[in-house]
Amino acid sequence: MAKKKRLKDLSLLEQIYLPEIVKGLALTMKNMFKPSFTMEYPEVKFEPGASYRGRPVLVMEENGDERCVACGLCSRVCPAIAIEVQANDTDKEKERYPERFEINMLRCIFCGFCEEVCPEEAIIMSKDYELAYTNREDGILGLDKLLVPVSELQERIQFLRKYK
Amino acid sequence: MSIWLQILISLVQILFTASIILVTVAYLVYFERKISAWAQNRIGPNRVGPYGLLQPFADVLKLFFKEDIVPHAANKPIHTLAPILALVIALSTFAVIPIGPPIYIFDLKIPLVVADVNMGILYILALTSVGVYAITFSGWSSGSKYSLLGGIRSSAQMISYEISMGFSIAGVLIFSESLRPMEIVNSQAGFMWNAFVQPIGFITFVVAAFAETNRLPFDLPEAEPELVGGYHTEYSSMKFAAFFLAEYANMIIAAGLIVTLYLGGWQIPYIENLGLSYTLTTSLQILGFFVKMAAVLFFIIWVRWSLPRFRYDQLMNIGWKVMFPLSLLNLIWVAILVMLMN
């Protein structure tokens, strides 16, 4: 720890106090010419990196099917009990699909456990952070709002393959 | 010159000065916010109008529509009187500050000051002292501990700093041999600005001016971490706006006073040697006054966003043990100078 400076330790110049004021003024003046950090939000939007955990979404394959096989692991692991899955059978190769898949964004805590536990890379944390709803019903997202084309999620998927 | 013409000229001057103060206050608030934003690497108000230039008007409009609350424990008449007093004093002090040399229209000599009184400096000192009452009244009549503490602090602070302020001004007066602001400005022709002739007095006066206007680093009367809002804690709506306006008007007066007493007023050194036309010289000098004033105002705001607040005992120590002796020292220095020059 740095030793605390007492009044008697100060040099004469520091005790006069005026040079220190000038130093402080110079610092603020220097800062006045630095670019500002402010991002003018509605016009300029923050672009998060791949490690960002935003709204969880379901992956939609190129043919328009959801990748999810409705195993229910995400629902099981969710600490906030925000995910509800109802499975049904299908004739396709994956045999099961989610008939109903709801994420309650009012409960979601963005922990990313659902993404971590998913065996199919079917639920992914997106970069979407604009999550304001005007009523509670809007905060519960169904399949129609959750499905996102796989091409838009490539960055996060690559990130998960590397670091998960 | 008939008496009616004189009254007419006075009215025009009053209107002109009052509008200068009000417009400057509005944009002073705007620049306060802008400069604070720049100093902190932010952008500042930029939503209302181009570059946020209409922000002050939006603020005032908001204050108009606020509810006017008078606390139950307040002393109503005085609670109402205090902001009025603050505003009246703040607006009337500017009357004796000359913004330019006398101008001549149709052989009519018009001084560019509302009241060219021969005791202008005394007038200013008297009025700013009465200004303490506004703050003390508001603190006492609000029926709130925070307000009361703010009011008491303010009166103690203003009384202590008035002494060093008075003694610094005395140095200026010895040089100009007059209390008339016009003469004080005339005595600083060329580079004989008092800021260069008596730098110690300049520093003590500027510090005292900061303390008198309750600006940081001496804004103890409204130190928000300790006293919530200080003396204006219990004020809302236009009464609060009146205090706000008075505070910024006081800043403008302090700046005008610093320019008049120490920075040569409207004088531009050796402009008469350039051989410009009379009209151009005069308008340049008036412009020069406002540029100087703007620079001082910028300095006041700049200091606010650079320095932390003093502790109350430090404030009193500086006022009595440093600023007061320094202003006396300055007085001696001026006396020696005057003796040598004669």
Contacts with A18 from chain B: Cβ below 8 Å? 203
Cβ proximity of A126 and A58 under 8 Å: no
Contact with chain B for residue A7, Cβ under 8 A: no
Is A49 contained in some domain? no
Please tell me the total count of domains within chain A: 1
Cβ burial, residue B117 (10 Å; 0-12/13-18/19+)? middle
Cβ proximity of A60 and A149 under 8 Å: yes
Q: Would you tell me the crossing angle of helices B76-92 and B237-262 to the nearest 10 degrees?
A: 30
Classify the complex by whether its ipTM is higher than 0.85, answering yes or no: no
Other Cβ atoms closer than 10 A to B294:
16
* Cα B290–chain centre separation: 14
Contacts with A24 from chain B: Cβ below 8 Å? 306-307
Of chain A, the end-to-end C-alpha distance in Å amounts to: 39
Residue B30 has pLDDT above 70, yes or no: yes
Distance CA B303, CA B281 (A): 33
Distance CA B93, CA B91 (A): 6
User: 3-state DSSP call for residue B68?
Assistant: coil
Task: Give the pLDDT score at B234.
Answer: 82
Residue of A nearest to B45 (CA): A40
Residue B41 to residue A25, Cβ atoms within 8 A = no
Q: Which of B39, B46, B307 sits opposite A21 (nearest CB)?
A: B307
Q: What range defines the domain where residue A154 resides?
A: 56-163
Confidence of residue A2 (pLDDT cuts 50, 70, 90): low
DSSP B319: I
Q: Which backbone phi and psi does A103 adopt, to 5 degrees? A: -115, 125
One-letter amino acid for residue B312 of the chain: Y
Q: Which backbone phi and psi does B99 adopt, to 5 degrees? A: -100, -5
Task: Give the pLDDT score at A79.
Answer: 92
Is A96 contained in some domain? yes
Q: CATH number for the domain including A126?
A: 3.30.70.3270
Residue B302 to residue A18, Cβ atoms within 8 A = no
Contact with chain B for residue A42, Cβ under 8 A: no
Is pTM beyond 0.95? Reply is no
Confidence of residue A1 (pLDDT cuts 50, 70, 90): low
For residue B61, what are its two tokens?
Answer: 């409009």
DSSP B110: E
**Mean pLDDT, rounded, for B232-256:** 86
Distance CA B234, CA B151 (A): 12
CA distance B127 to chain A (A): 30
B→A contacts (Cβ < 8 Å), by residue, are: 35, 37-43, 46, 203, 302-303, 305-307
Contacts with A35 from chain B: Cβ below 8 Å? 41
DSSP B190: T
Length reported for chain A: 164
Is A3 contained in some domain? no
Is A23 contained in some domain? no
One-letter amino acid for residue B285 of the chain: Q
Residue A36 to residue B43, Cβ atoms within 8 A = yes
Tens-place pLDDT, residues A92-140: 888 888 888 999 999 999 998 998 898 888 899 988 888 888 988 888 8
User: 3-state DSSP call for residue B296?
Assistant: helix
Interface mutation target, options A38, A40, A43, chain B, most CBs of B under 10 Å? A38
Nearest to B132 by CA among B146, B160, B148, B151: B151
Contacts with B39 from chain A: Cβ below 8 Å? 28, 31-32
Residue A28 to residue B305, Cβ atoms within 8 A = yes
Is A37 contained in some domain? no
Q: Which backbone phi and psi does B70 adopt, to 5 degrees? A: -115, 120
CA distance B306 to chain A (A): 6
**Mean pLDDT, rounded, for A49-65:** 88
Residue A63 has pLDDT above 60, yes or no: yes
Higher pLDDT, B209 or B279: B209
Task: Give the pLDDT score at A77.
Answer: 92
In chain A, the percentage of residues whose pLDDT exceeds 90 is: 9
Contacts with B303 from chain A: Cβ below 8 Å? 21, 25
CA distance A78 to chain B (A): 39
**Mean pLDDT, rounded, for B45-59:** 85
Tens-place pLDDT, residues B285-330: 888 888 988 999 999 888 888 888 888 888 888 888 888 888 888 8
Confidence of residue B1 (pLDDT cuts 50, 70, 90): low
Show the beta-strand stretches assigned E in chain B: 103-105, 108-110
Contact with chain B for residue A36, Cβ under 8 A: yes
The mean of the pLDDT values for chain B is 83
* Cα A109–chain centre separation: 10
Residue B191 has pLDDT above 80, yes or no: no
Task: Give the pLDDT score at A109.
Answer: 92
Task: Give the pLDDT score at A91.
Answer: 84
CA distance A106 to chain B (A): 31
What is the 3-state secondary structure of chain A? CCCCCCHHHCCHHHHHCHHHHHHHHHHHHHHHCCCCCCCCCCCCCCCCCCCCCCCEEEEECCCCCECCCCCCHHHHHCCCCCEEEEEEECCCCCCEEEEEEEEECCCCCCCCHHHHHCCCCCEEECCCCCCCCCCCHHHEECHHHHEEEHHHHHHHHHHHHHHC
In chain B, the percentage of residues whose pLDDT exceeds 70 is: 99
CA distance A47 to chain B (A): 20
Residues in a beta bridge with A149: A60
Location of structure tokens 């969710």: A78
User: 3-state DSSP call for residue B234?
Assistant: coil
Q: Which of B83-87, B205-209, B210-214 has the lowest mean pLDDT?
A: B210-214
Contact with chain B for residue A35, Cβ under 8 A: yes
Confidence of residue B5 (pLDDT cuts 50, 70, 90): confident
Cβ proximity of B151 and B136 under 8 Å: yes
CA distance B342 to chain A (A): 33
Tens-place pLDDT, residues B64-76: 888 888 888 888 8
CA distance A33 to chain B (A): 7
Residue of A nearest to B40 (CA): A31
Residue of B nearest to A21 (CA): B307
- Tell me the domain boundaries of chain B: 67-341
Cβ proximity of B330 and B166 under 8 Å: no
Cβ proximity of B182 and B271 under 8 Å: no
Give counts: helices (H), strands (E), chain B: 13, 2
Residue A36 to residue B41, Cβ atoms within 8 A = yes
For residue B245, what are its two tokens?
Answer: 């306006």
Distance CA A128, CA A149 (A): 14
The mean of the pLDDT values for chain A is 86
